[in-house]
Amino acid sequence: MKIGIADTNFAWVDMASIAIGIIKENSKHDIERYTVPGFKDLSVACKRLFKEHNCDIVIAMGMAGGASIDLQCAHEAAMGIQMVQVEESKHIIEVFVFQNESDDDKELFDIAKNRTEKHTLNALALLKGKEELTKFAGQGLRQGKEDRGPINLE
Amino acid sequence: MKIGIADTNFAWVDMASIAIGIIKENSKHDIERYTVPGFKDLSVACKRLFKEHNCDIVIAMGMAGGASIDLQCAHEAAMGIQMVQVEESKHIIEVFVFQNESDDDKELFDIAKNRTEKHTLNALALLKGKEELTKFAGQGLRQGKEDRGPINLE
Amino acid sequence: MKIGIADTNFAWVDMASIAIGIIKENSKHDIERYTVPGFKDLSVACKRLFKEHNCDIVIAMGMAGGASIDLQCAHEAAMGIQMVQVEESKHIIEVFVFQNESDDDKELFDIAKNRTEKHTLNALALLKGKEELTKFAGQGLRQGKEDRGPINLE
Amino acid sequence: MKIGIADTNFAWVDMASIAIGIIKENSKHDIERYTVPGFKDLSVACKRLFKEHNCDIVIAMGMAGGASIDLQCAHEAAMGIQMVQVEESKHIIEVFVFQNESDDDKELFDIAKNRTEKHTLNALALLKGKEELTKFAGQGLRQGKEDRGPINLE
Amino acid sequence: MKIGIADTNFAWVDMASIAIGIIKENSKHDIERYTVPGFKDLSVACKRLFKEHNCDIVIAMGMAGGASIDLQCAHEAAMGIQMVQVEESKHIIEVFVFQNESDDDKELFDIAKNRTEKHTLNALALLKGKEELTKFAGQGLRQGKEDRGPINLE
């Protein structure tokens, strides 16, 4: 199978390299990479990875600045990604990191790394079938931070 | 008939198991389950449940965190679900629970359970025909909490 | 001609019955009704009323709660309705009532009734042709409340 | 060539008549008019003006009330218009006036008139070709108010 | 190859001329220009540059006023651009400048110029292939201001 990696120059962490490392450690899938200027360009990169490069799934990585206009742009990027994945019937695992998640560079890097690693494993799982992740259903898993865990009523 | 169940690892209540219990208690419909990482992945799960697994209706379950970016993501997830159901002309019953609905774990669990149960019954009703729910039209029904009831002018 | 009526169980006024009364009083058009749980399910109801039941126009009625998440959901419902009517090239007259329009049950009922009545007449007019409503162009007509009237510069 | 005019009963200025006057003064193009209740109905009017009436361009006019829900509805109307013009590859010149632009009826009328006049001339120019407006590129033109003019660095 | 340039009369900097200068300095690509009144008209200009003029990529330039309604309109413009680029599977490099980025005309001009120049070079790079920009992945590049640079953990 083939995994697409779409990433940006705008991001200030090279998340794609982290994702590629995880894929290579855990599978023998082929990888196609597509780098664009910013996250609003990811939708076309994803579509081309599906249509021209026959990817079975794409991991789309981006980072958003901290102003409210940046969140609006993130929304537009995410809507473009929804359009593509619905049209193609194939998953695009969106790995977005927001500057507002931390004021500290080290912490933001750790969030980006953790989110990328966990979501890359999610992509690998989704390639195995629709119930591969069912064992974790409703378990309060988180990417970028500690798992929340399920509500425990006892 | 076949009912699709799409759910997430992000949610911290296993709503799908509740839905499956209700379906089995109340019908002999087949069930197909598809579990994804988070609610933004539900649109593709729903589309595949329709296209590859021939589901007649899908119940899509997810939970949203309490930050404003989480509500923006919920909106993107919901828009993807609108796109799929409009394209397929088949209902996707969206069962979303928001962390902000309660600070109390027990109460949030009860909301999730009640909303899932009632909406699963709604899905079963919709499979019977377009006027199956007409007897409840304008009755102020609620999922996740007590019914509001209709305005009584007397 | 055939008019579709799409309504919800969530609403706490039975607007569909009001609309059906107005249609019967003023025309001999056939009526098809489709009742769904909430307004986010209206898009599919509308599409099916067009595709499976050959409706020429649909009146889609719903009510929204007063929290900000309810307004977000109303937006998603309205976007689904836009997608369907653009795809089908047929009007969907959206009759949405918002809880925030009045704290008083009686007043909210009157708003719902007035809006439904006037918009049902609008649907009947649109079926007659694209210039049937031109005589009211720019006249500041309102549904749910008194007409505003046009700006009078004299 | 044929110009479509889509307008509403909700608006409290008859902008369509202003637009038609400008078209007749400045061209011999045919005109087709389509009047709908409110701006959320404009998307279908525009699509039908293109598909059934073979218009080459449409001018879509509407006015928005001053509450935040009115701005949400304006957004939905505008998104419907985006969907239609992208699908048809033909311009829809959107002439929307917002109640919040002025508290004064006379001033609001003048804004509506000025915006309609200038945008009608824009529509006529676009029919002449893709570079007809290039001479005004980056000139800070405004409709509804005085031109801003370009940044002058000298 | 052919590069489309879509720009507006509303903008108060002639960004298209800056872009055309950069293209001519750095390539022998053909250029097609399309000027529209405002940024909400860019989606159709882009689609026509792809469909009628066979452009391989489009650079779409616009400026937004400072009121909240202007940001809503910018969102609608950006969504139209997402729709077109997803449909065509071709990049539209969106170069939007917001009045709120600076109160100072000179500074705003410099932002517009810098953003246009850098994004035009991005467009040229994207035409060379999907990994042309990979060397800058995660490097915190910015258009309109100084690069942020990557997080340096040492």
CA distance B35 to E37: 47
Across chain A, the runs of DSSP E, i.e. the strands, are 2-8, 30-36, 57-64, 92-98
- Per-residue pLDDT, averaged over A3-14, amounts to 98
Nearest neighbour of C37 by CB, restricted to B83, B93, B130: B93
Å between B70 CA and nearest CA of chain C? 12
Picking from D90, D56, D58, D70, the residue whose alpha carbon sits closest to that of residue D11 is D70
- Per-residue pLDDT, averaged over A91-100, amounts to 98
Q: Are C138 and D13 in contact (CB under 8 A)?
A: yes
Q: Are C86 and D80 in contact (CB under 8 A)?
A: yes
Band (pLDDT 50/70/90 cuts) for residue D23 is very high
Sheet with D57-64, strands from edge to edge, namely D30-36, D2-8, D57-64, D92-98
| C54 in contact with chain B, both atoms CB, cutoff 8 A | no
Residues E26-76 pLDDT 10s: 999 999 999 999 999 999 999 999 999 999 999 999 999 999 999 999 999
Nearest neighbour of B131 by CB, restricted to C35, C40, C83: C35
Nearest neighbour of A15 by CB, restricted to E74, E133, E138: E138
Q: Are D70 and D62 in contact (CB under 8 A)?
A: no
Q: Are A77 and E92 in contact (CB under 8 A)?
A: no
pTM above 0.90, yes or no: yes
Residues B106-154 pLDDT 10s: 999 999 999 999 999 999 999 999 999 999 999 999 999 999 999 998 8
Picking from A72, A124, E101, the residue whose alpha carbon sits closest to that of residue D75 is A72
**CB-based contacts of E102, cutoff 8 Å, min separation 6:** E108, E111
Nearest neighbour of A72 by CB, restricted to E75, E130, E153: E75
| Chain D partners within 8 Å of C86 (Cβ) | 43-44, 47, 80, 83-84, 87
Match 């002309």 to its residue by tokens.
B89
D touches C, CB cut-off 8 Å, minimum 3 pairs: yes
Q: How many CB atoms are located within 10 Å of the residue B66 CB?
A: 11
CA distance E77 to D43: 16
Match 């473009």 to its residue by tokens.
A80
Å between A71 CA and nearest CA of chain B? 8
Report the pLDDT value the prediction gives residue C10, as an integer from 0 to 100: 98
| E18 in contact with chain A, both atoms CB, cutoff 8 A | no
Nearest CA in chain D to E83: D86
CA distance E2 to D138: 23
CA distance A44 to B115: 37
Alpha helices, H only, D89-153: 105-128
Nearest neighbour of A148 by CB, restricted to B12, B14, B34: B12
Report the pLDDT value the prediction gives residue B103, as an integer from 0 to 100: 96
| Chain E partners within 8 Å of D119 (Cβ) | 37
Picking from E119, E48, E35, E112, the residue whose alpha carbon sits closest to that of residue E80 is E48
| Chain B partners within 8 Å of A138 (Cβ) | 7-9, 11-17
Q: Are B29 and A83 in contact (CB under 8 A)?
A: no
Q: Are E42 and E93 in contact (CB under 8 A)?
A: no
Q: Are B115 and B101 in contact (CB under 8 A)?
A: no
A touches C, CB cut-off 8 Å, minimum 3 pairs: no
| Chain E partners within 8 Å of A11 (Cβ) | 137-138, 140
For chain A, percent of residues with pLDDT exceeding 70: 100
Whether D85 sits inside 8 A of E84 (CB atoms) is: no
DSSP letter at C135 equals G
Per-chain mean pLDDT for chain A = 98
- Per-residue pLDDT, averaged over C26-30, amounts to 98
CA distance E66 to E83: 25
Task: Provide the b/e sequence for C23-39 (b: ≥16 CB within 10 Å).
Answer: beeebebebbbbbbbbb
Q: Chain C interface, mutation test: which of B58, B88, B134, B154, most C Cβ atoms within 10 Å?
A: B134
Nearest neighbour of E108 by CB, restricted to D94, D136, D151: D151
Whether E136 sits inside 8 A of A9 (CB atoms) is: yes
| C17 in contact with chain B, both atoms CB, cutoff 8 A | yes
CA distance D125 to A119: 50
Query: What crossing angle do the helices spanning C15-26 and C105-128 adopt, rounded to 10°?
Result: 40
Q: Tell me the ipTM for this assembly.
A: 0.97
Touching subunits of C (3+ CB pairs, under 8 Å) are B, D
Provide the pairing of β-strand B92-98 with C30-36.
Answer: unpaired
Nearest CA in chain B to C33: B131
Picking from C42, C40, C37, C52, the residue whose alpha carbon sits closest to that of residue C5 is C42
Q: Are B133 and C36 in contact (CB under 8 A)?
A: yes
| Chain B partners within 8 Å of C9 (Cβ) | 122, 133, 136-139, 141
Give how far Cα B18 sits from Cα of B143, C56, C83, Å: 14, 40, 32
| Chain D partners within 8 Å of E73 (Cβ) | 78
CA distance E133 to E35: 29
SS3 B34: strand
CA distance B11 to A134: 12
Q: Are A13 and E138 in contact (CB under 8 A)?
A: yes
CA distance C136 to A114: 60
Q: Are A45 and A34 in contact (CB under 8 A)?
A: yes
Provide the pairing of β-strand D2-8 with B57-64.
Answer: unpaired
| Chain E partners within 8 Å of A72 (Cβ) | 71, 74-75
| E83 in contact with chain A, both atoms CB, cutoff 8 A | yes
Match 């425990």 to its residue by tokens.
A152
Helix (H) or strand (E) holding D32: strand D30-36
Q: Which positions 113-152 of A are in contact with E (Cβ < 8 Å)? A: none
- Per-residue pLDDT, averaged over D135-143, amounts to 98
Å between D64 CA and nearest CA of chain E? 11
Helix (H) or strand (E) holding A81: helix A68-88
| Chain C partners within 8 Å of B148 (Cβ) | 12
Report the pLDDT value the prediction gives residue B99, as an integer from 0 to 100: 97
Q: Chain D interface, mutation test: which of C83, C118, C151, C154, most D Cβ atoms within 10 Å?
A: C151
- Per-residue pLDDT, averaged over B69-79, amounts to 97
What dihedral do alpha carbons D86, D88, D89, D90 form, nearest 10°? -110
Provide the pairing of β-strand E30-36 with E92-98.
Answer: unpaired
CA distance C30 to C45: 17
Kindly state the tokens that stand for E4.
Answer: 């489309």
| C109 in contact with chain B, both atoms CB, cutoff 8 A | yes
CA distance B97 to B104: 13
| Chain E partners within 8 Å of A16 (Cβ) | 134, 137-138
Give how far Cα D106 sits from Cα of C117, C147, C153, D70, D119, Å: 32, 19, 7, 21, 20
Q: Chain D interface, mutation test: which of E7, E12, E18, most D Cβ atoms within 10 Å?
A: E12
Nearest CA in chain C to B83: C80
**CB-based contacts of B73, cutoff 8 Å, min separation 6:** A78, B38, B39, B40, B64
Kindly state the tokens that stand for A67.
Answer: 């102003």
CA distance D36 to C126: 7
SS3 A149: coil
Band (pLDDT 50/70/90 cuts) for residue A154 is confident
CA distance E117 to E133: 16
Task: Give phi and psi for A138, each to the nearest 5.
Answer: 65, 20
| E41 in contact with chain D, both atoms CB, cutoff 8 A | yes
| E46 in contact with chain D, both atoms CB, cutoff 8 A | no
**CB-based contacts of D119, cutoff 8 Å, min separation 6:** D19, D59, D93, D95, D143, E37
Å between C130 CA and nearest CA of chain B? 26
Residues A66-87 pLDDT 10s: 999 999 999 999 999 999 999 9
Report the pLDDT value the prediction gives residue B154, as an integer from 0 to 100: 81
**CB-based contacts of C1, cutoff 8 Å, min separation 6:** C29, C30, C56, C57, C127
CA distance D29 to D46: 17
| Residues paired with C93 in a beta bridge | C59
| Chain C partners within 8 Å of D115 (Cβ) | none
Q: Given its phi and psi angles, is residue C40 left (phi above 0), alpha (psi -120 to 50 degrees) or beta? A: alpha
| pLDDT above 90 (res D111) | yes
Nearest neighbour of C44 by CB, restricted to B89, B100, B152: B89
CA distance A95 to A77: 12
DSSP letter at D75 equals H
| A153 in contact with chain E, both atoms CB, cutoff 8 A | no
Band (pLDDT 50/70/90 cuts) for residue C154 is confident
CA distance E92 to A80: 12
